[in-house]
Amino acid sequence: MKRRKGTVPARLIMTLVMGTIGCNASLPEPESPAAQAYQQRCSGCHRLYAPQLLTAEMWKVVVTRMEQEFRRRGVPPLQTEERQIILDYLQKHGYKAS
């Protein structure tokens, strides 16, 4: 684990990270393990989609379909735990109608 020095305000880091992601998806909680897992596992074949784009129900369907794509292209499958972390993350930040 990396330790933050404490001299740079967290908010500035957030801004920089968001800026870097730019026109790609601006990921919520970019430094969380879940966001990192999402970036690592889901950006191999296409750009990252913002979690806010889809509802929780849609994410469940999409992740299941992506697992078929993983198999088709010989990408190592998601571990049960990894799948849950990514899905939880996407659903937590998913599209909400209200």
Identified binder of ligand HEC from the candidate list 21, 50, 56, 62, rule CB under 6 A:
62
The site map against ligand HEC for 1-40 (x = CB under 6 A) is ----------------------------------------
Residue numbers 74-93 binding ligand HEC by CB under 6 A: 75, 86
* Distance from C-alpha of 60 to C-alpha of 94, rounded to nearest angstrom: 11
Nearest Cα to Cα of residue 43 among 21, 64, 19: 21
Q: What count of Cα atoms within 13 Å lies in the side-chain half-sphere of residue 45?
A: 11
Identified binder of ligand HEC from the candidate list 15, 16, 32, 44, rule CB under 6 A:
44
Identified binder of ligand HEC from the candidate list 31, 57, 69, 88, rule CB under 6 A:
69
* Distance from C-alpha of 95 to C-alpha of 4, rounded to nearest angstrom: 31
Size of residue set near ligand HEC by CB under 6 A? 15
Nearest Cα to Cα of residue 38 among 52, 22, 51: 51
